Amino acid sequence: MKNIALVLVSLFVSMGINSSDLPASVSAEYFGCKLDEGKTLNDLNDWISEWNKWMNSTDLGDYEASLLTPLYRSPNDEIDFMWVGRTNTWQELFRGQSAYRASGLAATFPAASCPFQFIARQIPAGGVNLEAELNEDEFVAAYWLCDIEEGKTLSDVHQAQVSRMNNVVKMGNKISSRIVVPRQGVPSVLRNNDFVMLYASPSLEQWGANIDNYQNNIEGKGDDNAGDGVFSCGNSTVYVGSSIR
């Protein structure tokens, strides 16, 4: 989640992005919102039920969405939840936005204030396919703020991260990774970094097992050092997620 406070072109130039060296990315939109006064997550879930009914009446079958609530984030009251929507193309994402804006549903959304709203590319960066084991009511999404080292490119980051994740999975972890590169609307808190590294675990318990295994058997060993001299990551936040579509 981050970098472009200026121009999209400057981001691409500074990071040396060569899309041909990277796998196909996912087009994503992020909405970090505060519930209206007197509203709760139950009200939001009621609204989501109506939204899903509307979605079922459309041909927007490519759109997937997750609802994330802060678990470890400081300050933890900046937002009440984060909505993450994903499609395979920008055209499909914005076709859906157009249909939603015309639907009238926005007028009843129980969270008028969204301190950040932005779009980003999600680039698969190794790990296991979590689909079969995903707890759709309680998975974990951890976001790390990262920078690219001087002289390196996003392609170098991707290659190094895939190497790291191969080692992590080989040592028994059930986790996947994506490189999140911002495009437009990035909030100020994210503008000083080049990208966000997303780590997803299929459940809270498995996330804890992943951390134990990493600290005891992986950290600082072998391919875990593949990112040294390529990229570095600092502050992180953790969310509990549910699949809503």
| pLDDT tens digits, one per residue of 120-147 | 999 999 999 998 899 999 999 999 999 9
Supply the pLDDT for residue 223: 61
- Ranges 7-16, 54-63, 228-237: which has the least confidence: 7-16
Q: Residue 239 pLDDT > 60, yes or no?
A: yes
Give the residue-averaged pLDDT of 57-70: 97
pLDDT of residue 2: 36
Tokens of 27: 């087009």
State the pairing for strand pair 176-182/139-148: unpaired
Cβ atoms 67, 118 nearer than 8 A: no
The answer to whether 81 and 41 have CB atoms below 8 angstroms apart is: yes
What is the band of 17 on the pLDDT scale with cuts at 50, 70, 90?
Answer: very low
* Position 222 confidence tier, pLDDT thresholds 50, 70, 90: low
Which residue would you say has higher pLDDT here, 17 or 191? 191
What value does the CA radius of gyration of the chain take, rounded to a whole number of Å? 18
Q: How far apart are CA 73 and CA 126, in angstroms?
A: 25
39 — pLDDT class (breaks 50, 70, 90): very high
User: CA–CA distance from 154 to each of 20, 23, 130 (Å)?
Assistant: 11, 12, 24
* Phi, psi angle pair for 121, to nearest 5°: -90, 140
Stretch 173-199: mean pLDDT, rounded? 93
Average predicted confidence (pLDDT) for the chain = 90
Integer Cα distance of 34 and 82 in angstroms: 9
Q: Is the pLDDT of residue 14 over 50?
A: no
Identify each DSSP E strand in 73-222 by its residue range.
81-87, 113-127, 139-148, 176-182, 195-201
**How many CB atoms are closer than 10 A to CB 126?**
21
Mean pLDDT of 90-98: 98
| DSSP codes joined into one string, 20-47 | GGSPPPEEEEEEEEEPPTT--HHHHHHH
Please determine, for residue 46, whether its predicted confidence score (pLDDT) is greater than 80: yes
| Predicted confidence (pLDDT) at residue 229 exceeds the cutoff of 60 | yes
CA angle (229 as vertex; 223, 231 as ends), nearest 5: 85
Do residues 121 and 98 make contact, with C-beta atoms less than 8 angstroms apart?
Answer: no
Distance CA(154)–CA(51), nearest Å, equals 36
